[in-house]
Structure 1
Amino acid sequence: MSVDIDISGLRRERITAVISPLAELGMALHALSEPGHHPGLQGWVTTVTAGLDSHLADRMCEADFLWRSTFSDIFQPYAGIPGRDTLPGATLAEELDLLDKLSDEQFVDAALEFTCALPYSRPGPAALADADARARALELAAARGPQQLLFSERLLADPTRTRAWLRQFLEDCDAAFFADTWSRLRHQLAADARHKTDLLRRKGLAEALASVSSAVTLDEAADRIVVDKLGDGRTATADGGLLLVPTSLGRPHLMVLHRHGWQPVLHYPISSPALAAPPSLERLTLRMAALSHPVRMHMCRSLARSAFTTGELAQIHGMTAPEISRHLSALKKAGLLTTRRRGRYVLHQLDVTAVARLGSDFLEGILR
C-alpha cells in the first residue's frame, strides 16, 4: 500500500521546500488534542494546556475533528489555490488570507474530510451542492457526537460565518500560545528547508526525498514518488508543483496531501522524541499475536486517528459487521482498544499509548 505522486513533466524549479506557520499550528492543535500520538511533546502539551483560557479550550473542542483524527487540508490552503503553484505565506496572517481565498465548496469539503463521506483523490460531488453527500456527512458526524454534528450543520448552513469563526479561533490560538512556539521553531524548520533545497540542487530529487523519510522513494522509471503508508492514494503534479513542508511538532506523522485538483504536499517530521519503555514479554506476546493479522493492522490505521463504530469500519474496509466485530474483539482482548458509548453508538479507538510501548517502528508505521 502506498500514496503515489505522478511527477511526469515536473520541472526541478517547481519543487519547493518551504515552511508553513499554519501547517505547524494545525500540528500544534493535533498534539494538544491527541498527546498520546506525541510522547516527546508531553512537557510542551502540559505547559500550554495549563495556560489555556477556559473559553479558548472550549472553542478548541468545538471543531477538534479538524485536527484530532486527521490533519485537515484547511491547514494547507496554498495547495488549493488555482494554478497549483502557490507557496505558503511567510506569516500566519498571510496564510489565513490564503485560507480565505478557497471557495466555499473547497473549504467545506476539506473540513468534512473526517466523515469519509466524499471522494478525496478523485472528482466527486460537493457537500454544499449534493443532497446525498450532505446527508451522508451529517449522518457520519452524528456518530461522533452532538458537538460535531452541530458544527457540521453550522458549516453546511452558513459556511461564511463558520469560516470567520475558525479564522478568529486560529488568531486567538496564535496570541495565546502559538506565536511564542513558532518563534522558537521556525529557525529549525527553515534550516531543514534550506538543507532540502541544497540537496535538490546538488544531488537531485532522489537524495532530497531520502532525507525526508526512508518511507519516501523516487521511482525514476515510472516518474512517480512512492510514499509507503498503510493506505492507498494517488495524485499528480500535472502542470503544478510539489511542496516539501517540514514540521517539528508533527512526528511521527508523515502526511501526503493528495486531494483531487490540489497541489501535492509532503508534510514531514524533522525531530524524533523518545518513546516509553517496552512492555513485559507476556504482554508483548499477546499484543503482537493480536496484530499479526494484516486486516487488524490495517484497521489500526483508522482506529489510531479517530473513534469508529463497527458499521463505519465495515464500510471503510469492505467487510461485514460480524467480521469487523471479531477483529475488534481480538484487539480489545489484547488491551489495545478503548471503547465508549455515545447515545446509540459504540465507538472504538486504538490506545496509542499502549501501542507506543510496542516500539517506534510499529507506531510510526500506522500513524504515517
Structure 2
Amino acid sequence: MSVVLDISRLEPRQVLFAPSPLSELAEMLHVLSAPDHHPGLRAWATATATGLSSGLADRLAEADFLWHATRADILLPARPAATLAEELDALDERDDETFVASALEISCMAQYHRGVPQPLISAKDAQEARERAAIRGPRQAAFADRLLTDPRGVRAWLRRLFQDCEREFFADAWHDARTRLYADARHKTELLRRKGLAPALTAISPALQLDDQQQRLVIDKLVDGAGTTSDLGLTCIPTAFGRPHLVTMITPGWRPVIQYPITTPDLPRPMTVNLLQARLEALAHPVRMRMCRALARGSHTTGELAAAHGLTAPEASRHIARLKKAGLITTQRRGRYVGYQLDLNTVARLGSDFLDSLLR
C-alpha cells in the first residue's frame, strides 16, 4: 500500500520547499482535536485548550472535520505565503465552487472515480456530500449544509475563526516554530540545488522513495492513491506539529502538496508499512508469542527454546528465523553457542501493552 506520484516530467525548478502558516495552524488544530495522535504535544494541547475562550472552542468544534482525521485541501496552500493573513487572502480569491469542493472533498466526497466533485453545480455531488457528512454526525451535517447553501457566509466565518485562533494561540506558537521550519526548507532547497531532485525528495522522510527509473515517488502509507505532478510542480511544506503524519494532496488538476514533519536527531526513523506488517505477522503465531516471552527475559539458544516449547530443533530454528528477519531479536555468540534475545526497544515501538504482557 502506498501513494504513488508520477514525477517523470518534474524539474528541480518546479519544486518548492516552504513553510505555510495556514498549514501549520491546521496541524495545531488537529493536535487540539486529536491529542492522542501526538503524545509528545499533550502538554501543549492541554495548556492551549484550557486557555481557549469558550466561544472559540465551540466554533472550532463546528468545523472540526476539516482537520480532525485528515486535512481538507483548503488547508494545504500550493503557494505558501509568509503570513497567515496573506494565505487567507489567497483563499478568498478562490471561486465558491472550488472552495466548497476542496473543503468537503476529504470528509464528505467519494474518491475521484467520477472526476473532481462539483457540489454547487451537481445535485448528485451535493446529495453525496450531505449523506457522507450525515454519517459523521449532526454537527458535520449542519456545517456541510451551510457550506452548500451559504458558501460566502461560511468562508467569512472560517476566516474570522482562523484570525481568532491567531490572536489566542497561533501567533505565539508560530513564532516559536517558524525558525525551525524555515531552516528545514532552506536545507532542502540547498540540497535540491546542489544534488538534484532525487536526494532532495527522499530527504523529506524515510517514508519517501523513488522507483528504479526515478520516474515515480512512492510514499509509504497505509492507503492506496496515485497522482501526477505533470506540469504543475510540487510543493513540500515542513511542519513542527504534524509528526507522525505525512499528508499528501493529489487532487486532479491541482499542484500536488506534501506536508512532512521535520525531524530531530533524537527521534527514531519511521517504520515502513512492509516492515510493520512483517513484524506483526511474525508476532501473530502463538508459538512465537510464547518464545518472545522467554526472549524478553534473557538470551536463549535454539536448543533451549526447542526444549522449553516442545519443538524439534528445526522447528525452533524456523520460528527464530522469522523473528530475526522481522528485526525483533538480537544475537549474541557464546563460544560455539548462539543466544537470541528480544530487542525490547524495537518491540516497545509496536506497543507498550504488548511489551507489558511479555514482561508480566
Alignment TM-score, normalising by the size of structure 1:
0.71
For residues 121 and 42 of structure 1, the distance between their equivalents in structure 2, rounded to whole angstroms, comes to: 39
Is the aligned partner of 1:113 residue 2:89?
Answer: no
Equivalent residue for 2:15?
Answer: 15
CA-CA distance at 1:34 after TM superposition: 0.2
Equivalent residue for 1:51?
Answer: 51
Q: Secondary structure at 2:236's aligned position in 1? A: strand
RMSD, aligned CA? 2.6
Are the structure 2 counterparts of residues 226 and 122 from structure 1 closer, same or farther at C-alpha, using a change threshold of 3 Å?
farther
Identical-pair percentage:
53
Q: 2:101 touches 2:117 (CA, 8 Å); kept in 1?
A: no
For residues 209 and 349 of structure 2, the distance between their equivalents in structure 1, rounded to whole angstroms, comes to: 28
Equivalent of residue 202 in structure 1, options 185, 190, 194: 194
- For CA contacts below 8 A with separation 6 or more, give which structure has more relative contact order: 1
Q: 1:122 touches 1:260 (CA, 8 Å); kept in 2?
A: no
Are the structure 2 counterparts of residues 262 and 122 from structure 1 closer, same or farther at C-alpha, using a change threshold of 3 Å?
farther
Equivalent of residue 249 in structure 2, options 241, 248, 257: 257
Are the structure 2 counterparts of residues 203 and 223 from structure 1 closer, same or farther at C-alpha, using a change threshold of 3 Å?
same
1:12 maps to amino acid = P
Shift >4 Å, 4+ stretches: 272-275
Are the structure 2 counterparts of residues 268 and 135 from structure 1 closer, same or farther at C-alpha, using a change threshold of 3 Å?
same
Are the structure 2 counterparts of residues 176 and 7 from structure 1 closer, same or farther at C-alpha, using a change threshold of 3 Å?
same
CA-CA distance at 1:14 after TM superposition: 1.0
Flag the structure with larger Rg: 2
Q: 2:116 touches 2:252 (CA, 8 Å); kept in 1?
A: no
Q: How far does the alpha carbon of each residue in 1:313-358 deviate from its partner, in whole angstroms, 9 at most, with x for none?
A: xxxxxxxxxxxxxxxxxxxxxxxxxxxxxxxxxxxxxxxxxxx973
Q: Secondary structure at 1:262's aligned position in 2? A: coil
Structure 1 segment 1-368 matched on structure 2, within 5 A? 1-77=1-77, 79=78, 87-120=79-112, 123-219=115-211, 221=213, 223-271=215-263, 358-359=350-351
| Further displaced range: 50-59 or 220-229 | 220-229
CA-CA distance at 1:256 after TM superposition: 1.1
Equivalent residue for 1:337?
Answer: none
Q: Secondary structure at 2:203's aligned position in 1? A: helix
Q: 1:108 touches 1:127 (CA, 8 Å); kept in 2?
A: yes
Alignment TM-score, normalising by the size of structure 2:
0.72
- Which stretches in structure 1 are left out of the alignment for 5+ residues? 80-86, 276-287, 294-355, 361-368
Q: How far does the alpha carbon of each residue in 1:281-300 deviate from its partner, in whole angstroms, 9 at most, with x for none?
A: xxxxxxx68x969xxxxxxx
Are the structure 2 counterparts of residues 143 and 9 from structure 1 closer, same or farther at C-alpha, using a change threshold of 3 Å?
closer
- Which stretches in structure 2 are left out of the alignment for 5+ residues? 269-279, 286-347, 353-360
Are the structure 2 counterparts of residues 201 and 122 from structure 1 closer, same or farther at C-alpha, using a change threshold of 3 Å?
farther
For residues 7 and 134 of structure 1, the distance between their equivalents in structure 2, rounded to whole angstroms, comes to: 33
CA-CA distance at 1:104 after TM superposition: 1.3
Kindly tell me the number of residue pairs found equivalent between the two proteins: 280
